[in-house]
């Protein structure tokens, strides 16, 4: 079965990680309630890159001192399913309330995109 994934890369101030985690838990429950297959939030841990092997997540996320990269994704059945789930999520009262409060990160520095799955083992 084909899948579709929304992916996110953010730079979160370490001191705001507890607030971000609370926000992510609320968001994850809403996405799952409205039909997402998976919701994952991960925080950078082993971020060393071997010489000549690409760009480390902190550099890609443009982290500043005191920040850590967070890599997140949501899995859907298809792009159409993603669009339907996101429409329901945006009408969810908890999400609407959360969107009207200050975010524990700079949303202008968030990387986001929708991805077609090409290998699903």
| The pLDDT value given to residue 50 | 80
Q: Domain span at residue 16?
A: 4-47+54-71+83-116
| Residue 121 belongs to a domain | no
| Residue 76 belongs to a domain | no
Number of domains in the chain: 1
d(C-alpha 72, C-alpha 46), whole Å: 16
- What tens digit of pLDDT does each residue of 77-92 get? 999 999 999 999 999 9
pTM reported for the whole predicted model: 0.92
Distance of CA 30 to the CA centre of its chain: 14
| Residue 41 belongs to a domain | yes
Look at the block and give the residue holding tokens 């890159």.
49
| The pLDDT value given to residue 21 | 97
**CATH, residue 19:** 3.30.70.100
């Amino acid at each position: 079965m084909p899948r579709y994934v929304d992916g996110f890369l953010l730079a979160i101030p370490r001191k705001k990680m507890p607030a971000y985690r609370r926000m992510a838990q609320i968001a994850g429950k809403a996405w799952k309630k409205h039909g997402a297959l998976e919701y994952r939030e991960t925080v950078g841990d082993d971020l060393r890159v071997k010489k000549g092997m690409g760009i480390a997540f902190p550099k890609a996320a443009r982290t500043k001192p005191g920040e850590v990269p967070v890599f997140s994704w949501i899995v859907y059945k298809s792009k159409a399913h993603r669009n339907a789930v996101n429409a329901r999520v945006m009408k969810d009262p908890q999400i609407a309330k959360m969107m009207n409060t200050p975010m524990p990160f700079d949303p202008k520095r968030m990387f986001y995109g929708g991805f077609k799955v090409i290998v699903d083992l």
